[in-house]
Structures are given as structure tokens and as C-alpha cells.
Structure 1
Amino acid sequence: MVLGGLAMAKYGEKVLQELTAADIEDTGVSHSKAVEICKGLVRIVRSTQGAGSLWNKISHEVLLPVHPHALHRLLYHSTYRNWNSELLGPPPAWTPALEEAKQTNIGRVLTARGEEILVSYKDPVASFKEFYELSVDNPEVYWNIVLDELSLKFQERPSCILKLDQTKFLGEPCPGGRWLPGAVLNAAECCLLLDSKERAQDAAIMWRDEGQDDSPISRLTMAELRERVCRVANALEGAGFRKGDAIAINMPMNVHAVVIYLAIVLAGCAVVSIADSFAPSEIASRLKISKAKGIFTQDVILRGQRIHPLYNRVVEANGPRAIVLPASDQEMKVSLREGDMSWDTFLELASIVDRPDDFKAVAMDIEDTSNILFSSGTTGDPKAIPWTHATPIKAAADAWAHHDIRHKDVVAWPTNLGWMMGPWLIYAALLNRASIALYNGAPLGYGFAKFVQDARVTMLGLVPSIVKAWRSSDAVNGCDWSHLRCFSSSGEASNVDDYLWLMSQAKYKPIIEYCGGTEIGGAFVTGSMLQPQSLSAFSTPAMGCRIIILDDHGHPLPSDKPATGECALDPSIFGSSLRLLNANHFNVYYKGMPKFQEKTLRRHGDEIERTVGGYYRAHGRVDDTMNLGGIKVSSVEIERVCNSAHEDVLETAAIGVPPSGGGPEQLLIVVVLKEGRNDISLESLKKIFNAAIQAKLNPLFKVNFLTLKNLKCWFFPYDVVINSISFAGKCSGHCSFTTSYCLQ
């Protein structure tokens, strides 16, 4: 490698061996540092074979978080300059070391039992694929291993792992069979087990409030968490709630929300998950569908110096009796309706029992409802999806197998109980004996980044929009994230360059891409700490889940070859939904689906690609659902709001369009005005649409682009150029029109 030169190498235009000190200096490092880096690269190149091995050494031995991202990008793309993705698949950004792989949860099991349970065991990395195949072909063996690993307490053991005969659940067919039939347990009780003095003193939850960046981390031990949960469960009984009642939570995900969630489940009731960002109409629809008998909420939400109403939205939604918590230690900022009660008054109801800090968990059948969550439906009405007491086991099993969450780990994931990742976080951490890390504030700035450092988070989950915000604001600068063992990403499409930057902030720890659904309770495709991980790609189907890709005629494509098509799933997925509250479950997920190995496939709705090398990429929905900021919403819902937002609007089309470089979808609204109504400006109409969408659907939604069109033809081009930004590929939805028109 030449150590001098004047040529400026654009990213990927030179192979690694051709880079000069001048090329490196042009990325923003000093001349002396560039020469030093160049010498390090020469040493690595001379002693290393293969681009993957080269990048592994460069990322761990040369690059540092303080280096300009331009240097990281230059070395990454130069290393893989001659990589042939068509023959080799996407290049790895991280490769597991065998000794570290042996310390993972799966690695420990395979090191101890690999030769016993696998036909041709070699080591945890080389035998990972065989272990995955065992998880789908021999569920009895795999799930017995997982159940032994997790913190579970069965009040009655199941008769078997999976019952595959032609059983029904509440009158509907169950093509995937019934999991753990006859089992009785309580998922919340399993989270709160104190089987040793050491466990009682383990940190259960740690948190910090926004604006308190230099204050100590607040902590709640497992013993303290159990006492608080039991007190709330006793108060629930004192308030007249009984087994099977639906009780909503509409508040930020803080320590109180976690305590309330666990208490509702412990008392044998079902949590109704409502995001704290929802408008009153969205709150009302979820309360009505779930038949909630009560709701926990806060008076307001505090974000920095801003105060956002919350309780008043519940009142406007005509919600049931509410228990209202103050957002701060100060007095309540609202006056309560007749019949509602303050948090302190509610807790006093626990005093009717002799031991308010103790509570006997209500025994629940494995198929009883523990949580009611909602997913956007193509009709505009949210699908009400009951989680059973098996679903938490699926969430915890994914965390055990794919995120490698272990005893005394610290898990952070900015989310809310209104979305599946909120309950997922509770079960993923506590059932694996790890701690939950919660930041009470916006996760977009330095305060959250420093909290991750100070709490010594080991697994950090996120959505790509957060990463983009961190990168643009340099929020992570100066924070030490070396204690992270991995990231995880879910909710929306990620951007390769953003995620290269993210990995660089933690000295190149892997990003486990994680894609599934509320109705699954976890993922169907994800990554693994025992496989090389590529940027913005999935490396494996989830354990216990088989993916089938369908061609344009609905026929299954070969599983051992690259393919792109609609994603279908083997119906035997542990913890997945068995019913819907407001729709026929069989019709939604199975009607019209082909069979594979004599089982009717389960509809998922994503278009998916399997690449050379066995990686997967998701290409959005095949229905009219889009993903905005990690929140799924149907185009029908947005169009319905926009159609009535202004009297001059005849019709609208809502389209979620991914940027050409990858990343979160952006919202395009195409508008047809009534005849003769052409005097309204695009900018004013955009403001009107934004105000209506944020008031009636979600304040986090935003119209990125808007265009006016005439009634002409019905053709939509696949490549849309808007305001000089190119969006390549087809839109995520089928854009519902009663009258169609073109973009040209």
C-alpha cells in the first residue's frame, strides 16, 4: 500500500490496497494520524486473506468512534470494492468470533449438548443453521430447551409442546396447532420470581428523567418491583376489577407503567395497550373494541419544557373510569371527572388486605388473554389482537436466542406499551433475568445517549428514525458505548450508511435486524450473534419459524434459492395469535392461502427477498399498509382524514415511499381537487393535512410531500421523483382510489 499521494478516492472507487495517506487525510483526520492508519492497514492487508476478514480486523483494530464517519465509510467501501454481491450475497459488517459465540445463550447450549441433539455438530457457529432447522423440525426438543432456560413457573405443566391435530380455538380452525395444551401459569408471576437472595437484589428497572443528565441512575430491585406490583394488584381487586376484565394503559412507558402492566396481568386481567401519542378518536375506538372497564393514564406528558395533554384526551374519548397519575412529583395538573381517582387514592384501596405488598398470582390457562394490542387494518379499523400467556414466552425466547439477553444484562428500547415492543421489552428482559432501562423523555438527544452510557446498557433497541436523528445532531458524541454487546432494529426500513455509523459508535458491535408483527409476538425473520451480520439485512428466519416465499401465482418457491415474493409463514409459530376481537382470524390470516407440507400457510403481508448467501430483505407491505416512523397505518385511514380536511378536496391517495438510499418511508399525498377549485396553494393544503392527521390519527405522523393531479388515467410509475428526491421501487401500498389518476 502506498503511503503517499494526492488523489482523492471517492467511497468505493479504490480497493483497500490502493488507498493512500492522502486519501485518508481527505476524510478529515490529521496527516500524522493518516500515516499511522495507513501503516496499520498495510500490516492487516499483509497478514489477512478475504474481504470479510479484512473488514473484521480493520473495524476492530483501526477504526475508533472518534474518527470521522467519512473514514469509516471509505474503509468499508474500499474493503468491499470488488465484492460480488450477486455471487456472495451482501457483505458482512460484523463476523462472530468463535470464543465469543460460545458464551452466547445458544452457544452455551450447543457447547454442552450439541453432540447430543444435532446430527453433525461441529461448533456453535458452524452448526447454527442445523440448530435452526431443529427448532422448526423438532419443536419438542427446541422448546423444552427454551423453557428450561427461561424463568417460568408452571402451576400445571402442559401435556405436550405442540398438539397438531385438527383442533379449533373458540370455533375457528387452528392450522398451526395448539401450543402447550393444558398449561396453567401467569406470565407476570414468571417475571417476578424471587428464587434467591441475589435475585431479590438484582436491578429490575433503572431510569432517569430528561434534563437530569448528571444525576444518579434511579433503580428498583426485583424485590421492590414485586412489592409495588403486588400492591397495585391488590388495589385492582379493591377497586372491583376481576379476572378477565380489560384494563387500558395510556401513558408513557415509565416505571409506573411497567408496574401497572405487570399488576394487571398478575391479577388475571388483560392489558389494553394504547399509545400515549394517540388522538381521542383513536383512544375511543380501542377502548370500545376491547370493552375496557378502566384506564390508567397521566394528567399530562412532560417533554422538556413542553406539556402535552393526556388525561383530557381520555376524557374526550369518553373513556371508562380512570386512575390518573401525576407526570411529576408536583400536584395534579388537571381536575378529575366524577368517578375517576388519583393514583394515591387508588393505592389506598390495597390496604383492605392484611399484606398489601403480597399477592397470589391468578392462575391462567396458557390461552387466556394477557394483553390486547392493535395493528393497523386495511379497512381503516385497527385489528384487535389478543396476546395469550404464551405470547410473552415467544418474546422472551426471541430475546434469548437472537438478542442474546442474559442474566444481569441491561436492555433499553425507546418504545411505548401501545406498541408490541413495549410489552416485548418487559418480557424479554425480566424472563431472561435482565434489567429494563427506561429514559423518561425524548430519545433523540445527548441525554438519552448519556443514559445508555451511565446505565451500562448491553442491548439497545431502536427504530431507524432515531439513528438518523442521532447522526444528524451528533448526539452520541463523547459517550462511551463500548459496553454494548449488540443493537437491535425494528419498526421500519433501515439505511446502510446510517447503520454503518451506528455500529461505529460502539466499536462495531452487530445490529440484529428484527422483523415480525403484533400478531406474532416477536419476529419471523431476524439476525443472530452466531452468524455474520450484514447492514440492513436479516441473516435467518426466527427460531421455530419457517418462511415460505410465494410467486405471483401464490405458489411456494424453492427454499434453497434466491427469490422475491409475498412472505407466507408455516402456521406453527409459538405464541402467535389464535383469534381477533373484531374480525374472523381464519379469514384474515389463512383464507385463500396455499398449503405447504400439508399445512395451510399463514398470511403475513410483507414482500420479502431471499438473497444469495441466505440473507433476507423486507420490501414493505403487499397490502395498503405503510410504515411511518415505526408505526403501521393503512392508507385508508390517512385518506379518510385528508378527504374531509378541506372542502375543495375531491379525493386523495396516501403513499408510503422509501428513499432510494433506503430508510424509513416518507408520506406522499396525491390530491385531486373538485372541478374549478384550483386556487389553494400546496403549502397551505399540506399544513391543513398535517393538522388533521396529527389531531385525528397520531401527532407523530407528517406529510413529507404533496402533489396535485387531474383526473386522467390510472397508471402509477414505479419511480417517482418528488422535489428532486428520487424514490425508487414500488410504493408500499396499493393506494386506494374510487377514481384513479396518474402522477404524470
Structure 2
Amino acid sequence: MGKKSIRELGVDDFVKAGLSAAEANELKEQLLLSLSVSSNDPADIWRHLVSRRVLKPSYPHPLHQLLYYTIYSDHQSSSLPLYWFPSLTFGSLVLAFYAKDRPHTDFEQVNDVDRGVETGLASVILARLSGGLEGCDMDGTQALGGRGGRHRLDKVYWSLVLKELSISFVQPPNCILDTSSDPSKHGGTWLPGSVLNIADCCLQPSSFPNKQDDSVAIVWRDEGFDDSEVNHITLKQLRQQVMLVANAIDANFSKGDAIAIDMQMTVNAVIIYLAIVLAGCVVVSIADSFAPKEIATRLRVSNAKGIFTQDFISRGGKKFPLYSKVIEAAACKVIVLPVIGNDVGVQLREHDISWNSFLSSGKQHRSHHYSPFYQSIDSVTNILFSSGTTGDPKAIPWTQLSPIRSAADGWASIDIQPGDVYCWPTNLGWVMGPTLIYSCFLSGATIALYHGSPLGHGFGKFVQDAGVTMLGTVPSLVKAWKSTKCMEGLDWTKIKTFCSTGETSNVDDDLWLSSKSYYKPIIECCGGTELASCYIMGSLLQPQAFGAFSTPSMTAGLVILDENGVAYPDDVPCVGEVGLFPVYMGATDRLLNADHEEVYFKGMPLYNGKILRRHGDIIKRTVGGHLVVQGRADDTMNLGGIKTSSVEIERVCDRADECISETAAISVSPANRGPEQLVIFVVLKNGYNSDAETLKKKFSKAIQTNLNPLFKILC
């Protein structure tokens, strides 16, 4: 007997999927009602089920699977099945406005369209553009000036963004974009002549957006205190704490010094990050999972003068040493914060200093006030590091442009607004750490931080209790939540948007995640540290498919190249290496320890007279225009959201045991998409024997000791 269609499913099927008899009868009635107003198109049937909230978050996952996969079982199109649909009908016009280079006067047609619920981006564009760009000048003629329709649109858009975000210039820019003054800069010169302090922009109140001194800036909870009240700090209190730390930085360091942070993503880590930038120094981002060798490399490359760390890491109810790893790597001054209580729980080296002593060194100032150090827009504020390279990782400088780009993508594609509570378990060593800080503080939203492991029920309860409206993830994390069932019984229905990055998403895992908040959208994000942003994303203005991207990010342009480096037409389904348009606000124009021209432009083809920027992803464009990342054009693999090189893995594994002649490391993607898994092939020396399980343990130890403890071997 063949599979049942959606119209043939009955109460017994729903009971077998985990519902009670009463729930099953109720669901059958609601399903029949939805089918009566739907066409036979699977997407239309699914849209009606979701819009009527027929599928409750409390229903067991097998029930969600039964309905979703049954509805789309006869999906014959080569386009991807859709699960989320925008409620506003004029969003497509907004997107078309940018995509088709329309004159701004064409936008007047939007006034007569039923708008539904407007996102921040759509409503602002409507108000600004239908009003003839009044007040959007920088100046208005400059915004529409320049050569080419796309550049004009870049200038219009970024003029809008600077007014919507909390960006305050001490010296305003001469123009938005100058593509003529320095031919060596493929991406042009952005906001030339401007002076500001981007951390100060984060900390100051702003009437538009509605960000006031009494606005809640951060909410948090410590692991193990899951039944306690959620802690919070206002914008004014945050500013005072940052100024206190900035004064201490002045007492211990000089302007321009590079100062590392190797900590969990805590409230104090955020305060320290902002204080370093406020004081005119440079943050060096180091993930708390790194082995001593990797820490030492980053300190050496950045020439760091000091490092903030913790005595221990607290995660999953256990304490793991951190200070001992840092001092194995660092000769410079280490400032040590206690993970519990007020006193550090380790013996410090003579030239290291506790957090309390450090803060006291800045209290010599009679006032806790601090005057920000203002710099040009292209001044470096943060050094982040790429992964996936052989030898030293690429040191990627973030200038003050980078935070603007990060926050703009969040505002435009995720719709971050004042009043939102944004949670993304991450670390300042990865690009998402600084991105989260700037996306929230420049948009007026609240950061939600859980001081502990995101793998358990405690994290999920914090999401519930903190009233999180936006939750960011990596696919491996979602897979763990689903498989352990640790989030059962929690209410995540305040979440209006999920986000995902770092790895390829698995369709069924995303089905589980989205169902937790009545099928809210999961905005997929794919970009790079060197871009300070995502080049492709999901969008709240377009229908979404699980595990796929629906559009280039605002003002980003791309083509997909065939094996000869020729761009496929924009409307043709295809697979190939992506090439990015070089005029890209926020992208790097330098590397600190590598040749930027060689890394990103050498050997790339011309497109419309300009050299494309290399990114390295292989992407597939489907019928219907959705994009799916297929892997890398180089030997880079993605393990747990961290990019690394097969050569680096092999180098470590080759030395794991004397019986090994050579190894080959590859990553394997599951058939139904999802996180890549590491597989290692081994050739033994003549005369040696070893079993696979023993080798797996030795490889795991070698990789976790020398590279990253988060890497796990499948086989």
C-alpha cells in the first residue's frame, strides 16, 4: 500500500505520531478546515497550516515530520519546498527596487499596496524613498551621485542605514563612497574623512532608534542558577562600567596597543571589549577553546601587549583550566578574572594581575567619566583570525567600518529593533561575538548571555525566561538539542526569528527548531570574518526554504562561475564557485600577515570590467533562485562551525603515533544536508599494526591538544 496523501491522514495516524485521542481529533478538524481553503499546491497547504497555528510547538516532533513530509511527498519541482512566507505583500517591491536598479521615483507605487506587518527595513525605505529621500542626504545629492546605477543604490542604502543605526560622527564623511581616489582599492573608499569611536556609538543613548539610558542593554544568567531571576544592566550602567575599565586600560597600556581577550562570552567580556575600543586600543580575538599553541600564535602575530582571561571556564557544571593554558602561551601581562566569586582561584605569575587590582589601578581618576578616543573610520579596532589556512592563520583587521556593516545586515535581514532580545551562544574569538555586540548596541536591542553551556535545559530555560525574541544557532547545536530532547517543556514562542550560520543546516533539524515557535523563519547566514558580514542570507521579505539562502545581503553582489571562470546568467540554476562584486562595504582591504591582493583577487576573472573578489565557497542556485552552499573550492573543511584545513589536520595526525606513515583528512556531508563530519584515512608503516578505534582515540587527542578540542572524528 502506497503512502497516504495529506488528505488521507486520519486520527489514527496522528495518535501513532504521539498525540492523544483528543488532540488527534482536534488536529483532524483543523487540518480539514485548512485543506478546504487551500489549493492543491503543497506550499499553499503548508502555508495555511502554519498561518492558522495548527501545528503546536508542544506536539511531538514525529507529528511535525508526518505532516511536513507528507505534504511535500509529491513535490515534483526542482525548486526547494517552502516552509515560511512573509506576511507583507510589498516586501518583494522593496527587494526589486534594489535588485533592478530602479529610479527612486518608481517606489511611489508602493503607497497603494496592502503592507501587512512591515519590517524595519521595509518601513524605513518606504518612508524615506516615497518622501523623496528627505533628510537622507549626507548630502542628498551625494547619495544619488557617482557612476552607475548600482553605486547610486549603494549610496542611497548606506545613507539610510547611517540614520537608522546609532552612528554618531565627530567628523562626518565627505561622501558615502569614493571609487576614484585609490585605484588599488578594489572596493573603493567608504565614508572618507569621517572620525568617530564606534564603541562610544554603542554606549550613548539615541532618540532614533529609541535607545535610552534606562533601556536594558544586557540580560544574563549564570549556569546553575536556572530558577533565579534574570540579571540585567541598563545602558547607563553599562557605560559606567565600560568607562571604569577604559580608565584602567589607560593606566596599564598605551593608545594603539593590541590587547587580547580569551574568555567566555560573559557580561565582563562584553564590557572589556567595548572598553578596549573606547580607549583607542585594539582587541585581539581568541576563542576560549584554543590550545596553548594556537593562543601563542595569535598573540605573536598581533603583537599583543596583554591579555584578559579567566582562571577557569565554567561549563556543563564543571570547571576547566584557562589561565594555565594562557600562561603557557603568553609572556605578556595577563589580567585574570574569577569565574566564581571575587577572588581568582589560581596562583598568578609575578607580573600578572587580578581583575580587582586592575580595576583599582584606574580609580586614581577622581571621576569615572572617560573621554573616548576618536579615530578615522579606517582605524583598526579588532584583529580576528581566519581558520582553514596552513601555517599562521590570517590576521584580519576590523576597522570602524566593519561594525557598521555587521549591524546593518542584522537590521536589514533579521529586522533587529529596539525592544528585541537577541541571544546567540558564541565567543569573542569568532566573528559572531563582535557581530552580536554591534548588532544589538547599534540597533538598540538587548544582548542575552548565558554564562555556561548552551547544550542543556538550563540554556533553553534562560531563553524562555529572558524573553528572547531572536535566537542564533549553529546546526550542530540544534542537532544536539533535538537528539537529547533537552528543550522539552519550554516555551520559546516569544522568538520571532531564528538565525543559523557556521555550517550547512539539516532540513529535519531545522523543522524541529522552527516548530518551537509556530514555524518562525530561520534566517540562514553565510559570510566571512574578512567581509564583516554575510554575502548571502535569508530574508524576511521572501519565502524561505529550510537550509537555504534566498538573496545576496543588501548591496552585496555575486555571480556563480563555471569551471572556466565564466559567470552563469543570474536566472539559471547552476553549481559553481562564487565570485563577489569587489565594491563591498565593510570588506577588508588589507591583511596583517598576508598579501591581501594575492589572497582575494589574484587569478579571479573580470566581470563588468572589475576583478571579482574570491570567497572560496561552492554554491548551488536552484530553480526558484534559492542558494545552497555545497562546500569549498579549496581544501578547507567546516567542523562544528569552525573552518580548518585538511593539511593542518593531517599534519597533526601524522605525528600522533610512530606507526603512521601518512594520513588523509576529508569532511563528509550527510545526504540530507547538515554539519560536515571528519573522516581520516590512514596508511601504516610496514611491520606495524593498529586497530581503528585505537587510532581514532590517538587522533582525537592530537587534534584536540594541538588544534581545537571541539573537533570530533566520525571514523
Q: SS of the residue aligned with 1:636? A: helix
The reply to whether residue 495 of structure 1 matches residue 510 of structure 2 is no
Structure 1 segment 250-269 matched on structure 2, within 5 A: 250-269=262-281
| 1:301 alignment partner AA | I
C-alpha distance in structure 1 between counterparts of 2:314 and 2:586, whole Å: 35
Deviations along 1:543-584, one digit per CA (max 9) or x if unpaired, are 010011110011111112211100110011111111111100
- Aligned equivalent of 1:78: 70
Partner of residue 669 from structure 1, selected from 680, 696, 702: 680
Distance 1:35 1:254, change over 3 A: same
C-alpha distance in structure 2 between counterparts of 1:219 and 1:644, whole Å: 48
The reply to whether residue 297 of structure 1 matches residue 313 of structure 2 is no
C-alpha distance in structure 2 between counterparts of 1:626 and 1:381, whole Å: 17
C-alpha distance in structure 1 between counterparts of 2:121 and 2:271, whole Å: 30
Deviations along 1:395-451, one digit per CA (max 9) or x if unpaired, are 000010011000121100000000000000000000000010000011011101110
Q: Note the C-alpha offset of 1:114.
A: 4.8
Q: SS of the residue aligned with 1:603? A: strand
| 1:211 alignment partner AA | G
- Aligned equivalent of 2:576: 565
- Aligned equivalent of 1:434: 445
| 2:666 alignment partner AA | I
| 1:73 alignment partner AA | Q
C-alpha distance in structure 2 between counterparts of 1:338 and 1:285, whole Å: 23
C-alpha distance in structure 2 between counterparts of 1:484 and 1:673, whole Å: 52
Q: Note the C-alpha offset of 1:116.
A: 5.5
- Asked whether the 8 Å contact 2:390–2:647 carries over to 1, the reply is yes
- Aligned equivalent of 1:421: 432
| 1:620 alignment partner AA | G
The reply to whether residue 203 of structure 1 matches residue 193 of structure 2 is no
Distance 1:608 1:195, change over 3 A: closer
The two structures have a TM-score, normalised by structure 2, of: 0.92
Q: SS of the residue aligned with 1:238? A: helix
Q: SS of the residue aligned with 1:414? A: coil
- Aligned equivalent of 2:98: none
C-alpha distance in structure 1 between counterparts of 2:289 and 2:242, whole Å: 25
C-alpha distance in structure 2 between counterparts of 1:396 and 1:199, whole Å: 18
Q: Note the C-alpha offset of 1:683.
A: 1.0
C-alpha distance in structure 2 between counterparts of 1:79 and 1:266, whole Å: 54
Partner of residue 343 from structure 2, selected from 321, 331, 346: 331
- Aligned equivalent of 2:25: 35
- Asked whether the 8 Å contact 2:211–2:418 carries over to 1, the reply is no
Distance 1:528 1:319, change over 3 A: farther
Partner of residue 316 from structure 1, selected from 328, 334, 358: 328
- Aligned equivalent of 1:281: 293
Q: Note the C-alpha offset of 1:101.
A: 5.8
Distance 1:590 1:500, change over 3 A: same
- Aligned equivalent of 1:25: 15
- Asked whether the 8 Å contact 1:186–1:363 carries over to 2, the reply is yes
- Asked whether the 8 Å contact 2:579–2:612 carries over to 1, the reply is yes
C-alpha distance in structure 2 between counterparts of 1:696 and 1:582, whole Å: 22
Q: SS of the residue aligned with 1:36? A: helix
- Asked whether the 8 Å contact 2:299–2:330 carries over to 1, the reply is no
Mean CA deviation greater in 509-518 or 103-112? 103-112
Distance 1:101 1:628, change over 3 A: farther
The reply to whether residue 467 of structure 1 matches residue 478 of structure 2 is yes
Structure 1 segment 17-416 matched on structure 2, within 5 A: 17-49=7-39, 50-61=41-52, 62-86=54-78, 89-98=79-88, 102-115=117-130, 138-165=153-180, 167=182, 173-195=184-206, 199-239=212-252, 241-356=253-368, 358-416=369-427
Deviations along 1:49-105, one digit per CA (max 9) or x if unpaired, are 24323212212431101112111111112222332332xx21211101127864311
- Asked whether the 8 Å contact 2:246–2:370 carries over to 1, the reply is yes
Partner of residue 565 from structure 2, selected from 554, 562, 582: 554
- Asked whether the 8 Å contact 2:635–2:646 carries over to 1, the reply is yes
Structure 1 segment 473-484 matched on structure 2, within 5 A: 473-484=484-495
Mean CA deviation greater in 488-497 or 48-57? 48-57
State, as a whole percentage, how many aligned pairs show the same letter. Answer: 52
Distance 1:16 1:447, change over 3 A: same
Deviations along 1:714-738, one digit per CA (max 9) or x if unpaired, are xxxxxxxxxxxxxxxxxxxxxxxxx
Q: SS of the residue aligned with 1:406? A: coil
Partner of residue 685 from structure 1, selected from 683, 692, 695: 695
C-alpha distance in structure 2 between counterparts of 1:661 and 1:639, whole Å: 27
- Aligned equivalent of 2:94: none
Distance 1:140 1:667, change over 3 A: same
Q: Note the C-alpha offset of 1:381.
A: 2.3
Q: Note the C-alpha offset of 1:656.
A: 1.2
| 1:151 alignment partner AA | S
| 2:77 alignment partner AA | S
C-alpha distance in structure 1 between counterparts of 2:211 and 2:623, whole Å: 47
Q: SS of the residue aligned with 1:525? A: strand
Partner of residue 714 from structure 2, selected from 704, 709, 724: 704
Q: Note the C-alpha offset of 1:244.
A: 1.5
Deviations along 1:681-708, one digit per CA (max 9) or x if unpaired, are 2111111111111111111111111xxx
Distance 1:349 1:101, change over 3 A: farther
- Aligned equivalent of 1:655: 666
| 2:123 alignment partner AA | R
Distance 1:625 1:23, change over 3 A: same
| 1:235 alignment partner AA | A
Q: SS of the residue aligned with 2:212? A: helix
C-alpha distance in structure 1 between counterparts of 2:617 and 2:331, whole Å: 34
Q: SS of the residue aligned with 1:402? A: helix
Structure 1 segment 497-512 matched on structure 2, within 5 A: 497-512=508-523
- Asked whether the 8 Å contact 1:380–1:634 carries over to 2, the reply is no
| 2:176 alignment partner AA | I
- Asked whether the 8 Å contact 2:224–2:317 carries over to 1, the reply is no
Q: SS of the residue aligned with 1:423? A: helix
Q: SS of the residue aligned with 1:323? A: strand
Number of aligned positions between the proteins: 672
- Asked whether the 8 Å contact 1:102–1:108 carries over to 2, the reply is no
Q: Note the C-alpha offset of 1:185.
A: 0.9
Mean CA deviation greater in 320-329 or 34-43? 34-43
Deviations along 1:465-487, one digit per CA (max 9) or x if unpaired, are 11111111112211111111100
